[in-house]
Amino acid sequence: MPNWTRRRWLGAAALGSGAAVWAVRPQEAGAPHAARFQALSRALRQAGLTQPTLVLDRAQLHANARQVRANLDAALALRLVNKSLPSLLLLDELSTLLGTERQMVFNLPYLQLLAEQRPRSEVLLGKPFPVAAAAHFLAHPPRSGFDPIRQVQWLVDTPARLAQYRDLARARRQVLRINLEIDVGLHRGGLPDDASLREVIGLLQGEPWLQWSGFMGYDAHTEKIPDLGGLRTAARAQVQQRYRACLDAMRASPLARDPARLTLNTGGSPTYRLHQAGGAANEVALGSALVKPSDFDTPLLADLQPAVWIATPVLKVAPWRAPDGVGALGTLLRGWDPNQRVAHFIHGGHWLAQPDSPAGLQASALIGASSNQQLYVGSGRQGLQPDDLVFFRPTQSEAVLQQFGDMAVVEGERVVAMWPVFPARA
SS (H, E, C) 328-352: HHHHHHHHHCHHHCEEEEECECCCC
Report the pLDDT averaged over residues 35-57.
97
pLDDT at residue number 426: 79
Q: Which fold has domain 30-52+306-419?
A: Lyase, Ornithine Decarboxylase; Chain A, domain 1 (2.40.37)
Structural domain boundaries in the chain: 30-52+306-419, 86-286
Alpha-carbon distance 124 to 282, whole Å? 14
pLDDT at residue number 224: 93
pLDDT at residue number 211: 97
pLDDT at residue number 3: 60
Strand partners, 283: 77, 265
Which candidate, 364, 357, 222, places its Cα nearest to that of 298?
222
Strands 389-394 and 342-346: unpaired
State which H helix or E strand residue 285 sits in: strand 283-286
- For residue 236, pLDDT beyond 90: yes
Helix (H, G, I), strand (E, B) or coil at 287: coil
Alpha-carbon distance 399 to 411, whole Å? 24
- For residue 23, pLDDT beyond 70: no
pLDDT at residue number 325: 72
Burial of 261 (C-beta count, 10 Å sphere; 0-12/13-18/19+): exposed
List C-alpha distances in Å: 407 to 25, 55, 311, 402: 41, 6, 11, 9
pLDDT at residue number 212: 98
State which H helix or E strand residue 355 sits in: strand 353-357
Q: Kindly report the backbone phi and psi dihedral angles of residue 386, in degrees, each rounded to the nearest multiple of 5, phi listed first.
A: -55, 140
Strand partners, 410: 57, 415
Q: Calculate the average pLDDT of the chain.
A: 93
List C-alpha distances in Å: 297 to 155, 301, 396: 30, 7, 11
pLDDT band at 335 (very low <50, low <70, confident <90, very high): confident
Contacts of residue 350, Cβ cutoff 8 Å, sequence gap at least 6? 369, 370, 371, 374
Residue pLDDT, tens place only, 261-295 = 999 999 999 999 999 988 999 999 999 999 999 99
Report the pLDDT averaged over residues 220-239.
94
State which H helix or E strand residue 62 sits in: helix 58-71
Report the pLDDT averaged over residues 205-212.
96
List C-alpha distances in Å: 251 to 26, 260, 282: 62, 13, 15
State which H helix or E strand residue 246 sits in: helix 231-251
pLDDT at residue number 425: 87
- For residue 6, pLDDT beyond 90: no
State the pTM of this model: 0.92
Share of the chain above pLDDT 90, in %: 85
Looking at residue 300, what DSSP letter applies? Answer: G
pLDDT band at 330 (very low <50, low <70, confident <90, very high): low
pLDDT at residue number 319: 93
pLDDT band at 365 (very low <50, low <70, confident <90, very high): confident
The CATH code belonging to domain 86-286 is: 3.20.20.10
Where does 53-203 show beta strands of DSSP type E? 53-57, 77-81, 102-105, 122-125, 152-156, 176-181
Which candidate, 106, 102, 105, 134, places its Cα nearest to that of 121?
102
pLDDT at residue number 367: 84
Residue pLDDT, tens place only, 103-149 = 999 999 999 999 999 999 999 999 999 999 999 999 999 999 999 99
* More reliable by pLDDT, 325 or 272: 272
Which candidate, 102, 121, 57, places its Cα nearest to that of 216?
102
Helix (H, G, I), strand (E, B) or coil at 316: strand
pLDDT at residue number 8: 61
